[in-house]
Amino acid sequence: MSNINSQIWCLKSEKLGSLQSFNSERDMESFLMNNPTILVGASSEKSEGFLVRSQQFIKGTNESSGKMDIVGLAKIEKGYELRIFELKNSPVDVAAVNQVKGYRDDWGADLDLKKRILEWIAYLPTLALDDKQAAAVVESPIAVVIGPSFLPEAIAKCREWEISGVRLARFKGDSNSEYYVIIEDQVGEVLKKRLWSWKELIDRELIKKSDTFSFSYKNSTLRAKPDPERLDWNWIYLVFDEVSRKFLLDNEEKIRKNMDPDAKKLVDKSFKALKENRSVVLTNATALAFFALDFSLRSYWTPTEFWVHDESKRTLAQIKEIFFS
C-alpha cells in the first residue's frame, strides 16, 4: 500500500473593512456631480453646457413643490434619455421610491420645468437634436433612486413601477483610513462607465504626477496639481500652487460675497484646507475659482471642463473622455 501524504490546513477569515453610507445626501450629490459618468455615461459635450443639473424644482399637481436632486441627459444606444435621480443616504424604502415616482408622474404637469429643460438641451450645441427630438426626450423621463442599500419591498415597488435603482456606498478599510466607493445596479440598468482617479490617468500616460492644471478667466489664472497623497482616490483632489493659494486667501472676503447662498459649508471647508496648506476637492476648488474670478456660469458641480492640462492643452474633461474611450 503506497504512503499517502496528508496536509492539514487552517482557514481563517479576516475582516477587511465595512460598508458605510456617505456623510449626507449633499455629500452624495457632490460626489456624483463630480463624476457624472456614473449617472449619464458621459461627462459633458462642450464647455457651454453640461449633461447634469442639480436641485431642480418641480411643481406637483396639487400645487405642492418638490426638489429633484439631479436631472441628467444620458447617452444611450438609440440617442438620449432624460433621467431623474433621487438620492437617499439611508436604506431605500418604499417612501423613497414613491417620492421619485411622484416626480415622474408630476413631470408632465409642470410646463415651466419642461420649458427650462428644453432650453437647457438647446444650450448643448453638439447634441444636434431638433425640436421634435428634444421634445420626445423631455416627454418621458426615467426615474432612478440611489442609496446605500435597498429594502426588499422597495425593490419590489421599483420593479412594479418601472423605476431603476443604483446602490452607492463607501467601503472603509480597517487597515487604513482610505475609502473606496461601491457602485452597482440594484434594479434595472443605469451604470455605463466606471470612476476615474489621477493614478489611472497617470498609468495610461495621459498626464504625469507633476503636471499642472490651470483655471483661467479673463486675465486671471489659477494653477494646481494632483494631490500626490490621494492619487488613487475617486474623490479628485487638487493642490493649489503657492501663488494661487495666496490669491484665494487674499480674496476670501470677495469670494464669500460672491458665493452662492447654499455654498457656505463648501467655502468654509475649502478655506480651512487652504489655511492649513492642504489639498481641496476638485468641485470645491472650482467653486472658489468661480467666486474669486467673477465667473458668470455657475456650473462648478461639473468642473472638469474648466481645468486645462498645461502640458497637453486639453481640458480635464477631454482627458477623461480619452481615458473612457
CA 134 – CA 189 distance, rounded (Å): 23
- pLDDT for the residue 278: 94
**Domain ends where: 187, 220, 242?**
187
Half-sphere exposure of 27 (CA within 13 A, CB side): 15
Is residue 235 domain-shared with residue 159, that is, in the same domain?
A: no
Q: 179 and 202 share a domain?
A: no
**Together in a domain, 27 and 111:** yes
- Number of domains into which the chain is organized: 2
> Do 122 and 167 reside in the same domain of the chain?
yes
Q: Quick one: cell of 192?
A: 455605463
Compute the radius of gyration of the chain from its Cα atoms: 22
CA–CA dist 55, 68 (Å, integer)? 5
Q: Do the Cβ atoms of 124 and 45 come closer than 8 Å?
A: yes
CATH of the domain at 136: 3.40.1350.10
Instruction: Judge whether residue 2 has pLDDT over 60.
Output: no
pLDDT at 187 over 80: no
Residues 25 and 161 in one domain: yes
Q: Which grid coordinates are listed for 98?
A: 414613491
Q: What would the pLDDT profile of 292-321 be if each residue is shown by its tens digit? A: 987 665 555 567 778 999 999 999 988 988
For the ranges 49-53, 56-60, 123-127, 143-147, the one whose mean pLDDT is highest: 143-147
Residue 52 lies in a domain: yes
Share the mean pLDDT of the chain.
80
Looking at mean pLDDT, say which of 76-90, 169-183, 196-210 comes out highest: 196-210
- Which pLDDT score, from 0 to 100, does residue 48 have? 34
pLDDT above 90: percentage of residues in the chain: 29
The verdict on 158 and 113 lying in the same domain is yes
The beta strand positions in the chain, using DSSP E, are 17-20, 44-46, 49-50, 52-59, 65-76, 79-87, 142-147, 164-173, 179-187, 213-217, 220-226, 237-240, 280-281, 308-309
Domain boundary among 165, 187, 209: 187
For residues 145 and 169, membership in a common domain is answered with yes
Per-residue pLDDT at 84: 87
Q: Is residue 124 part of a domain?
A: yes
In a domain, 240, yes or no: yes
Strands (E), 118-275: 142-147, 164-173, 179-187, 213-217, 220-226, 237-240
8 A C-beta contact, residue 153 and residue 177? no
Tell whether 264 and 289 lie within a shared domain. Answer: yes
Average pLDDT on 212-229 reads: 93
Asked if 156 and 258 sit in the same domain, the reply is no
Q: Report yes or no on 233 lying in a domain.
A: yes
Q: Domain boundary at 121, 152, 187, which?
A: 187
Shared domain for 54 and 178, answered yes or no, is yes
Q: Does residue 4 sit within a domain?
A: no
pLDDT at 49: 40
Q: Is residue 218 part of a domain?
A: yes
Same domain, 175 and 204: no
Clarify whether residues 38 and 170 are in a common domain. yes
CB 164 within 8 A of CB 187: yes
Task: Answer yes or no: is 256 within a domain.
Answer: yes
For residue 235, pLDDT beyond 90: no
Could you tell me if 320 and 194 are in contact, meaning their C-beta atoms sit under 8 angstroms apart?
no
**In-domain check, residue 180:** yes
Determine the pLDDT at residue 251. Answer: 94
- The residue that leads in pLDDT, 214 or 54, is 214
Where in the sequence is the domain holding 255, given as residue range(s)? 198-324
Q: In the predicted model, is pLDDT for residue 253 greater than 90?
A: yes
